[in-house]
Every structure is written in structure tokens, then in C-alpha cells.
Structure 1
Amino acid sequence: MNKTVNLPAVILQEGREKALNRRHPWLFSNAIDKVLNTPNRGDTVEVLSSKGQWLARAAYSPSSQIRARIWTLDEAEAIDLDFFVRKLTRAWQLRQSLFSHTDTDGLRVVAAESDDLPGVTIDKYQDLLVVQLLSAGADAKRPLIVKALQQVFPEHSIYERSDVDVRKKEGLKPVTGWLHLPRECAEVLIKEHGMRLVVDVIQGHKTGFYLDQRASRAAVRRFAKDAEVLNCFSYTGTFAVAALAGGARHVTNVDMSELALATASRNAELNQLDLSQITNTKADVFKLLRQYQEQGKQFDLIILDPPKFAENKSQLNSACRGYKDINRVAMQLVKPGGLLFTFSCSGLMEEALFQKVVADAALDANRDCLFLERLQQDSDHPVASFFPEGYYLKGLICKIY
């Protein structure tokens, strides 16, 4: 038996090391045969094969179906401050190579498993970092992660937004608050392709903003000239700013949040746009689309960017029905020759399945649909080859006749 059995360890069932050999970072509970020396939640454990061979070092989570998340496949690599500094430095160097700071200063710095930091998400808004620690291991390593961030990003404020429901699966409670250099104001202005946009890291969705849609906003800007635009699930109206910057005649933002719609107006003002070209409507998108359908209202360009419809596999079929229904109604509201930008942020919704759902919606709507372009999360949200689950945002630009 390997010497590491004196430390907390998990021993895999026979033949269950195949996923690890493919470098997949998750070990599910049914892959584990024994747990040695009773690790606590978030403890670092050694992962051994059924024959006692050392395989990996991982974070242990007794409450989750994902019982262990891999930190390293290198037996010589300790999970210490240097480890996190190395991972953060590599991740930040990648983003610096992809984006110019003078053009874009809101970036995802760490995309969890895809950056070899399971359960860790870090977004950078100018000189403010927002951290989400969503797994037991990430939560346990909070002090080291914060110290590493202070080294890699000196003089940056750090705010934690670990208030996502997925933490419940790890047996963790929500955590929010300042971790370093607190500020009186939690708002920051970021630059994105010539636009100025407001981010509220305390009250905003996720870490305050949807950085993953940056490339999609640029695509809307390309197609929006002279268009009457309907921006569904508009949040803070960033698609509207992009559309108007691209020459749209008018944009209707639809969202249930008064705060988000108020921020949409602020974003328009920040970019010196004509507020008479924007209508902010507080409404349920599903009900409003049907109301527009009854009224015979139509638009040149519709953006559908709904929240996640499927949290787990058991919800996938109902999610498909939901996506099909909302896309069907939206297509009926697009003027012949107009465009539909439609998205799914449900990771379980594979690209081919999403395209099939949209195609079925076109059949039910009795409209011809041409897929012009595919859209996805921007390049600061990379997808590791060994972690296909990191590819979650799918989008289609559809020409509707």
C-alpha cells in the first residue's frame, strides 16, 4: 500500500480510475470504495487506485455527489500558497494575451475547473475582484486563495459572492462580503468595445455582470442597424446599448427587475444614447410575448437570453419544452427577413440538442429559419479539453422568414 495512506485518502473502486486517466477533475461517490482517516469537509485527500497506487490530490466533499475534486495529478505538488499563485498567474497571463486593457477591463480571470481550480470563479472589474467559492475545497482554501490574489493583483479590492444555490449540494451556507480593501461603493464602471457599463457586485446577478456574453453583444451590434429590437430578459440592458451603438432605431428592454431596468437607463445615459429610443418594460417575458402575439406586434430583431432552464438531468426534458415554446412564440414576432438571437446557458443542453429544439420551434411556428452563426461564451471563459462541462453558453443567430 502506498505511503500516503497515513494521510486522509480515498480509495477508488476497481477500474474506476479511467476518468482520472483522462484528467477529468471530478470523482463521484459511486467511484469510491473506501475513505481512510476521516477527512473533514474541504480537506485535501490523496486519491489511490484499488491497488494502492497514488493517482491524484483532491478536495473532499462528504455531502456532494461529486465526492472529490482534483487539485493536482502531480504527487510532488503541494496545495499551498505557491500552488494558487501559479494557477492564478497562468490564468491571468492567458486573459492578458486575449484582451487589451484599453479596450476591455471586465474579464473572467478564473473559470473554475477549466483553469485547474475546481469550484473557484473569479471576475475582474477594473481593480475590483469578485470571488465565488462554490465547492467545499475552494471554501476551505479561502485564506490561501485570498493571499494568492493579493500577490498576483496587488492593490485590488476583493469581494466574495459565494451566494449561489449550488453550495447547498456541498453542505455550505451562502457567504458574501469584503475580503480585502473594502469599499463604500460596490459599483464599478467597466469598458467593453467602446461601451461604458455599470456593474454592481453586491446586488447584481452572479458576480454582478454577464461577461460571458461580450462576443454576443458585439454580434448584436453588427446586425442591429435600423432595427426595431426586442431585448428579452434584458437585465441591465447591455444588449440594448450594443444594439443602439450599432444603429438600431429603437430597443424595448423587458425584465422583471426594476433595479435592473433602472441600471439599463443609466447604461444608456453613460453611453450618451437617446433615451427616447429605449422603452423599459417591467414584465414577465413569457406572458408579454404572448400579449405581443395577440396584438400582432413584430420586431426586426429579437434577443432571447433566458436564465438557466435545467439545473440537473431530470429537468432536461422540461427545459427542452420551455426553450421550444419561447422560441416558437418569438419567431412569430420576428418580421419576415428579421433576426432572432437565441441562447441557452444550461450546461446540460448540448449544442446539437439546442439547435434541434430551435429547429422544432421553427416548424411549430410555421416559419423558415436559417442558422447564420453560432455564438458561445467569450474566450475568457475557456473550456478545458478534459472538462467538456465547461462549455455551457450556446447561441444561434437565426434568419427568420
Structure 2
Amino acid sequence: MKETNIRIKQKYIDKIKKGYPLIEKDSIVDIGKLRREGMIINLIDSNNKFIAKGYFGRQNKGNGWILSYDKNEIIDYEFFRNKIEEAINSRKHMFRNEETTAFRVFNGEGDNIGGLTIDYYDGYYLINWYSEGIYMFRNHIYKALEDLTDYKAIYQKKRFSAGGKYVEEDDFVIGVRGNFPIVVKENGVNFAVYLNEGAMVGFFMDQRDVRNIIKEKYAKDKNVLNTFSYTGAFSVFAALGGAMKTTSVDLANRSRKKTMEQFQINNINTDEQDIIVEDVFKYFKYAVKKHLLFDLVILDPPSFAKSKKFTFSASKDYSNLLKEAISITNKSGIIIASTNCSSFNMKRFKQFIDKAFSETYNKYDIIEEFSLPCDFRIKPEYKESNYLKVVFIKKL
């Protein structure tokens, strides 16, 4: 494959040499040379000295990812196969775990190819393409998975067109089509998963450790509120952990049916749980008005959300969200504050928490902290890859 030399601005060179994998939009001098997504580019300095090799692929954060620091390395089938094989080998212990049959096999830049993730669902593989650039290498990646795994089927999600919105189409690539939902396990708990229904499959695997500790340690005999509940995964674990009752609140109409399904495949009586389709902020006001109090409140909002009356941005509004939660949390109750926003770190997140409690004249203790589970490999040089921040807060 033909390679194109692209000059990088001086102030970005040290960062790249130290292992920062993203080719930032503002770092490129020869922007006009970036003509075709998927082209292999050699990053060079003003003296034409080689720095790194990558591919051009537009994402919201950059213009591609670095693949190698070896000028002579060829980006071909063997390159992709070796990276995927290394990722699979590092997760062999997970393939042997009969209690958890869904996990991440390949985590983008954490496994040294940015813009690509591969998830495993009990024999089914799901590829997520985050730019047209990485999608140009699809045949190498399909073949690597075919050669390296005993797959039932391979599915894919293209997340890079129509202004960043997911384009619905047939997601099946190869193998035997699944009869959906397929049921996978996470720490012995069942989940119904759909690999053929648009961008979302049914649950987010990065919260595995958090859900498990809720079941094992925090849910028993508690009145639990799960906000931004999606398909009710936290509620299922809480119910199986002996919660007195769970209340799941989400604005999406599909959340009721999907949450009921997850309860039912775990033999939980849905009549004993509340599933509410409503704007979370509107529900907070209702709960205050009705003097409702909860022992365990779970806050796992998207980084950005918009409803008819509210716009929520985690980086601006998390403290206000927490203040709402504090007002309906029992004395000695626990708030699980979570965010997947990569634009701030754990230290900043704790400042949001402190602000919310101080402004409501409440005291608190932080009793647990979580970040990404081991299969979500991160790149230390790229702090944004360690995006998940979860804090268990006890209201004193």
C-alpha cells in the first residue's frame, strides 16, 4: 500500500514520541494531503525525519491513529492478525470463565489499533468501526477473526457516517445468523443481547465490576433507584442481590419492554419492580414532592443528553444532577455516581461530588472507586482511554 508523508507541527512531536496514539486534527501541517480515508501516513518533522506511522480516519477527536513507530513495518494482514492474536491471548482467562460469556476482546488504542473495538458474546463477535478509515481494513480484520477464533458469527456496527449517527443496515458479516436475543452471562446473571438492532446491543460491559459488587455487597434489603436505566442492568443485579424493591427510570420508550425482558430471563417478578418511562430530572421533582427516599441511588447518565426541557452535559451539569440525587437519598444511603465522559479525570469528578455535597450542606464519605475492567485495556499515554469513573458515596 502506498504511503504518504505528512508533516507534523513541532509542538506535537514530543507527545507522539512518548506514545500518544491519536493524530490530532491541529497537529497536521499538510492537511491537504489527507485525501482518502484509510490511507497509510508517515508522520515526519520539518526535516523530513520519520516519527511514526498511522492511518487517516476522521473521528470527532482526531484525524486517525498511530499504528507503529517502525518506519519499515508494513500495515497488512499480518499486522492486524498479530495485534488481534495478542489481544485474544491476553484475555484467555476470560474465555474460560463459564459465569461470564460476554467481554471485550479488542479495545482500540489500548490494544494498539485506535478506532476499532471487538466484543465477544458467547461465540458471536461484534466489531465496532469508529471511522471510515479503519473500516477500509475490514477484510484483513474479518480474516484475522476467521483464522484465530471458533466464531458462530461475526457482526459489525459502523459508527462513522451520517454526522456521527449510527446508520441502520444489516449488521451480519459471516457465519450463522443468531436467533435474537441471544442470552449471555455476566457473573452468572443472564442478559438478552441483540446484535442486529442498530447501535445498542442491550447492556454496557464496562460496568461489569460495579454491577457485581452491587449484587454482592450493597443491594440486600435496600430500596434502589436506577436512573438513566437503559435496559435495567443495574436493577437486575440489585434485585438478585436481595433488594427490597427497584425503580428504573429512563426517558426512552423502549426501556420498559427491554427492562422487563432482562428481569424475566432472570426469573424476577416484574410486578414487584417499578419501571418508569420519564425524564429523570422530572422524576426527581416528583420524588421530592411525594417524599420518596431511596437507600441506594444509581446515577449513570450519558456524557450528553437532551430532552424537551433539559440538556445535560456531564462536564457542566454533574454536580446539579448529584444535588437532585442527594435530596432523595436516605440518611446513611449510598449514591453510585458514574460517568463515561473522557473530558475530565477522576480528580475533577471528585470535585463535582464535593461541590454538590457542600452546596446542599451534606457530609459524605467515598467508600468505593471503580474504573474500567481488565478486558478494557487502556493506553497510559492516552489518558482519555481510561474514561470510566465510578464512585460509591455514603451520605452521612
TM-score (norm: length of structure 1): 0.89
Mapped to 2, the partners of 1:178 and 1:204 lie a distance apart of 11
Distance 2:95 2:129 in 1: 25
For 2:291, the equivalent position in structure 1 comes to 296
* Per-residue deviation, 1:338: 0.9
Cα deviation digits, residues 217-244 of structure 1 (max 9, x gap): 0121111110011111111111111111
Is residue 25–residue 387 contact of structure 1 (8 Å, CA) maintained in 2?
A: yes
Aligned to 1:215: 209
Shift of 1:258: 3.4
- Cα gap change, 1:37/1:212 in structure 2, threshold over 3 Å: closer, same or farther? closer
User: Counterpart of 2:323?
Assistant: 328
- The partner residue of 2:155 within 155, 159, 162 is 159
What is the deviation of 1:55?
Answer: 2.1
**Residues 34 and 56, structure 2, Cα contact 8 Å, conserved in 1:** no
Q: Is 1:367–2:362 an aligned residue pair?
A: yes
* Counterpart residue number, 1:349: 344
Structure 1 residues 262 and 179, CA gap change in structure 2 (3 angstroms): same
Identify the range of structure 1 (12-21 vs 104-113) with the bigger mean alpha-carbon deviation: 12-21
- Counterparts of 1:137 and 1:190, CA distance in 2: 31
Q: Amino acid of the residue matched to residue 187 of structure 1?
A: P
Residue 309 of structure 2 corresponds to none
Equivalence for 2:107: 111
Q: Is the 8 A contact 2:293 2:330 kept in 1?
A: yes
One-letter identity of the residue aligned with 1:122: I
Instruction: Find 2:187's aligned residue among 181, 190, 193.
Output: 193
Distance 1:230 1:47 in 2: 50
- Corresponding residue for 1:275? 270
Contact persistence 1:129–1:157 (CA under 8 A)? yes
Q: Does the 8 Å CA contact 1:8/1:35 hold for their aligned counterparts? A: no
1:145-176 deviations in Å (ceiling 9; x for gaps): 111111122333111112367x847x997765
Post-superposition Cα deviations, 1:72-104, rounded to whole Å, max 9, x if no partner, equal 112232111111111111111222235643121
1:70 maps to what in 2?
66
Q: CA deviation at 1:263?
A: 2.2
2:235 aligned residue (207, 228, 240): 240
1:174, 1:43 → 2: CA distance? 26
CA RMSD of aligned residues (A): 2.7
Q: 1:13 to 1:219 in 2, by over 3 A?
A: same
Q: In the TM superposition, what are the counterparts of 1:131-146 in structure 2 within 5 Å?
A: 131-146=127-142
Q: How does 1:2-81 map to 2 (within 5 A)?
A: 7-14=3-10, 16-34=12-30, 39-61=35-57, 66-81=62-77
CA distance in 2 between partners of 1:275 and 1:198 (Å): 16
- Cα deviation for residue 372 of structure 1 reads 0.6
Q: Secondary structure at the match of 1:281?
A: strand
- Helix, strand or coil: the match of 2:331? strand
2:254 pairs with 1:259: yes
The amino acid of 1:387's aligned partner reads: Y
Number of equivalences: 391
Change (3 A) 1:376 1:156: same
1:88 touches 1:110 (CA, 8 Å); kept in 2?
yes
> Partners in 1 of 2:98 and 2:114 — Cα distance?
30
Q: 1:172 to 1:51 in 2, by over 3 A?
A: farther
- Residues 352-391 of structure 1, C-alpha deviations (whole Å, 9 max, x = no match): 1111111111122222211111122222112211221101
Q: Distance in 1 between matches of 2:227 and 2:77?
A: 44
Distance 2:385 2:59 in 1: 22
Change (3 A) 1:174 1:347: farther
C-alpha distance in 1, partners of 2:252/2:58? 37
SS in structure 2 opposite 1:33?
A: coil
Helix, strand or coil for the counterpart of 1:399? strand
* Alignment check: 8 A CA contact 1:161 1:206 kept: no
Partner deviation per Cα, 1:253-281 (whole Å, 9 max, x = no partner)? 11123333222222222222233331111
Q: SS of the residue aligned with 1:8?
A: strand
Structure 1 regions of 5+ residues with no counterpart?
312-316
How far does residue 208 in structure 1 lie from its aligned partner after superposition?
4.0
Counterpart CA distance in 1 for 2:160 and 2:303 is: 13
Does structure 2 conserve the Cα–Cα contact (< 8 Å) formed by 1:12 and 1:47?
Answer: yes
* Matched AA of 2:151: E
Q: Percent identity?
A: 25
Does the aligned pair in 2 maintain the 1:202–1:208 contact within 8 Å?
no
- 1:164, 1:174 within 8 Å by CA — same for their partners in 2? no
**1:328–1:365 contact (8 Å) kept in structure 2:** yes
Indicate which of 71, 80, 83 corresponds to 1:87: 83
Residue of structure 1 aligned with 2:223, choices 219, 223, 228: 228
Q: TM-score, normalised by structure 2?
A: 0.91
